[in-house]
Amino acid sequence: MNRSEVRLSIIVPAFNEEKNVPRMVEEITAAVDRLKITYEVIFIDDGSKDGTFAALRRRGKTTPGSK
């Protein structure tokens, strides 16, 4: 995806949200896909002590269009 193609950027701070990552990605994707626009979701791991970062990486690898 070319940066100039992105019409919406969603930035989500995450602190110790390992268990919530899959649901959050699903909810955002379901809501924004209906808009039929190009978008990106940027998660910011805010120094989590659990496996938030690992969960985000795993989810990114399985989400269509993610890098």
Q: What is the pLDDT of residues 2-27, one digit of tens each?
A: 556 889 999 999 999 999 999 999 99
In 1-67, which ranges are E strands? 8-14, 39-45
What residues make up the domain containing 11?
3-62
What is the Cα gyration radius of the chain?
Answer: 12
Distance of CA 64 to the CA centre of its chain: 11
Q: Under 8 Å CB-to-CB from 65, ≥6 apart: which residues?
A: 1
pTM of this prediction exceeds 0.95: no
- Quick check: 1 pLDDT over 80? no
Asked if the structure places residue 14 within a domain, the reply is: yes
32 within some domain: yes
Residue 23 belongs to a domain: yes
Asked, for residue 20, whether it belongs to a domain, the answer is yes
Q: Are 52 and 15 in contact (CB under 8 A)?
A: yes
Cα–Cα distance between 30 and 44 in angstroms, integer?
20
State how many domains the chain has.
Answer: 1
